[in-house]
A and B are shown apart, each in its own frame.
Chain A
Amino acid sequence: MSPHTTPIVDTENDLTERIIAPDGSRLSNPQLDRYVEDVDFQTLRDLHRDMVVVRRIDSEGVALQRQGQLGLWAPCNGQEAAQVGTARALEKRDYVFPSYRETGVMYARGAAPGDYARMWRGEEGSAYDPDALRIAPLQIIIGAQTLHAVGYGMGIMHDGADEVAVSYFGDGATSQGDVNEAMVFASSYRTPVVFVCQNNHWAISEPVGLQSQYPLAGRAPGFGIPSMRVDGNDVLACLAAMRWALEHARSGKGPAYLEAVTYRMGPHTTADDPKRYRDDAELARWRERDPIARLEAHLRAAGELPQEHLDAVQAEADAVARDMRAATIGMVTRPALAVFDGVYAEPHSGIERQRAEYAAYLAAYEEA
């Protein structure tokens, strides 16, 4: 059995909300325009810089994996607008529950050079200090983090705080029970949560049509959650849509849901080969909708893309990549007994005994 092709994968006639067309021209969007009235060309150039830097971090991650410095990398090439656009709408105090592909969100939240690589290199289970970035550890189990965001949102409500919890996940995750349970809980308690589904069209080798025969944003209203299907390769539309969703959640009206329709240009991770499961023509069609090229076309047409900007952006991207590489290669693996660190918050006689046994073994080995 194979899924039918649905409008979800019909890129010719999609009905997503957008502000900048694939050719770079500015469109009128009655729903979204008011959310980006303040966005001037300098802000657009900042978003452009963000996306270029994120793409450079991503390509450096792939290179580091190919060179044996990282065990794995999950590329986000093609999804820069969906990640940067939505993340730039967040306040510092908001809390993000990501999947493992949110490199652009990490960058927008101020990640340090090593933060991108630490987990993928296998040094630590969490890539960064969650409280510092206000991002939960990268989540590998598909969709599990959506419930964490909702629970965090329940805590925000209890505290009466002016914050929003945000969960990022992919189209494949929408098939998971946890994501559906998260929407039930969020809707029932009207928690201040924004669900950001990046529909990148492929869950490893499975097309989105296998996950859903209906646009994913169309599911949320069935839970009582307002949703929007936005062009995930239009960074300005993503910014605007996320501002709408955050405004909704912050105002006490409960959760909101975005489906950012985008495309994963590379493999699922550095461990798979997309040539086995998707054809070049599809890739070529999406290449024409590249989020960075689109914003560049828009800025160029307006005469707002000076060479100095492009040079500065390139220099910054190279510097970030250089710092990331240096941080990665400079990581020092913790000593052997660190494998026992942090299993429990309080003393646990079982783990302490094993630590002591292993310490004695290591000591004997060293003496021999």
Chain B
Amino acid sequence: MVQMTMGKALNAGLRQAMRDDDKVVLMGEDIGTLGGVFRITDGLLDEFGKQRVIDTPLAESGIVGTAVGLAFRGYRPVVEIQFDGFIYPAFDQIVSQVAKLHYRTQGRVKMPITIRVPWAGGIGAAEHHSESNEAYFVHTAGLRVIAVSDPQDAYRCLQQAIASDDPVIFFEPKRLYHHKGEVDLDASLADAPPMGLARIVRPGTDATVITYGAMVRTALDAAEAAQDEGISLEVIDLRSLSPIDYDTVAAAVRRTGRVVVAHEASREAGVAAEVIASITERCFEYLEAAPLRVTGHDIPYPPAKLEKFHLPDLDRILDAVDRVMDRPNSLSEATDAKGTER
């Protein structure tokens, strides 16, 4: 076990994947000499050469589209999209080509492409640098969508994504790039949990908070605070957004009966909506209260000075917990005054 940041863990994961399989090639803007704007590919050009660490022209559709051609030829391209908001020019190649070619060809053509996306907000970045756009990709059949939340998981999941014969959208929370944790670089990948499984990062008995990405840290902080008030919160890190591990989710809901789903992305038709709909389909009779969402607002991502008002924080999660537990909360006074039912 070694202490390292998520950024270093991702770097180590890429290095290991490239050593394991010489068909793995990296592509993206500035990933070579510079080592990527977040230095996730630092040092890989020196070790593997420019045939395998490919600095590309500044053209996102071009990067993903040429990765498709490389996959046709048996390569396993790992593409870096420099920032979440820059993925849209590549959207057609991702959803119309990468996602569909295996299906269109009845499995004859595989698209083992990993699309790494430095993702989501909380770092005070410029416009188009903080977006949580995972729902677009979760909605697209043929893609797998992964969002990691700690260095150990980042190290393993990235290698699993690269080894997968399916295309994977791999979201890396920028806010956690410098977050440190224990990483076991020597453990066999075969023993690691598959990337499609959710994990309970904190057990609890009163309510379940379901989240992913950087919000896992926020949810853990909320659980710590709730503990002080005598509330036992369970926190589930979904890890995989496509597929979502509903076996783990439903088992948790059956234990606690109360659910809050939290994410940074906007609310309308987001991942939380899907999770809650699926929970009500599967275990409605176990629910003690209507499941709630704590999400970003349905607004364009706001300027940096305002993002703290957009991103769910510890208090908003605790307020939702209070609501599902029927404790005094932000709606109590208003609704009571009107005498209306919550």
A interface residues, Cβ below 8 angstroms from B: 95, 97, 124-126, 129-131, 136-137, 141, 144, 146-156, 158-159, 165, 177-178, 181-182, 184-185, 188, 341-346, 348-351, 353
Contact = CB atoms under 8 A, between A and B. Distances in A.
B193 to A, nearest CB: 14
B106 to A, nearest CB: 5
Contacts of A185: 56-57, 59, 62, 66
A149 B69 contact: yes
The winner among B66, B70, B142 for most chain A CB atoms within 10 A is B66
Contacts of B57: 181, 184-185, 188
Contacts of A146: 65
Interface in B36-83: 51, 54, 56-57, 59, 61-62, 64-75, 77
24 contacts: A124-B106, A125-B103, A148-B69, A150-B66, A151-B65, A151-B66, A151-B68, A151-B72, A154-B54, A154-B69, A155-B69, A155-B75, A181-B57, A181-B59, A181-B65, A182-B65, A341-B103, A342-B103, A342-B105, A343-B102, A345-B107, A345-B112, A346-B166, A348-B242
Contacts of A149: 69
A155 B107 contact: no
A137 B69 contact: no
Interface in B247-289: 247
- For the complex of A and B, 6 pairs with smallest distance between CB atoms: A151-B69, A147-B65, A125-B104, A155-B73, A151-B66, A181-B62
A73 to B, nearest CB: 19
A353 B281 CA distance: 13
Main secondary structure of the interface of A (DSSP, over half): helix
B237 to A, nearest CB: 17
Interface stretch (B12-20, B92-100, B173-181, B329-337): B92-100
Interface residues of B, number: 51
A126 B102 CA distance: 10
Contact of A349 (B56, B92, B112, B246): B246
Contact of A345 (B64, B73, B110): B110
A126 B106 contact: yes
Contacts of B66: 147-148, 150-151, 154, 182, 185
Contacts of B100: 125
B86 to A, nearest CB: 14
Contacts of B25: 158
Contacts of A150: 62, 65-66, 69
A152 B72 contact: yes
B317 interface: no
B108 A131 contact: yes
B105 A137 contact: yes
A150 B144 CA distance: 25
A137 B61 contact: no
Contact of A151 (B67, B108, B141, B246): B67
A350 B57 CA distance: 36
Given A185-B62, A343-B142, A151 B70 contact: yes
Contacts of A178: 61-62, 65, 92-93
B62 to A, nearest CB: 4
Contacts of B56: 185
A105 B218 CA distance: 57
Contacts of B77: 151
A342 B110 CA distance: 10
B70 A154 contact: yes
Interface in B133-180: 141-142, 144, 164-166
Nearest to B104: A125
Given A154-B66, A155-B72, A349 B61 contact: no
Contacts of B110: 345
B245 interface: yes
A184 B104 CA distance: 28
Contacts of A181: 57, 59, 61-62, 65
B53 to A, nearest CB: 12
A147 to B, nearest CB: 3
B244 interface: yes
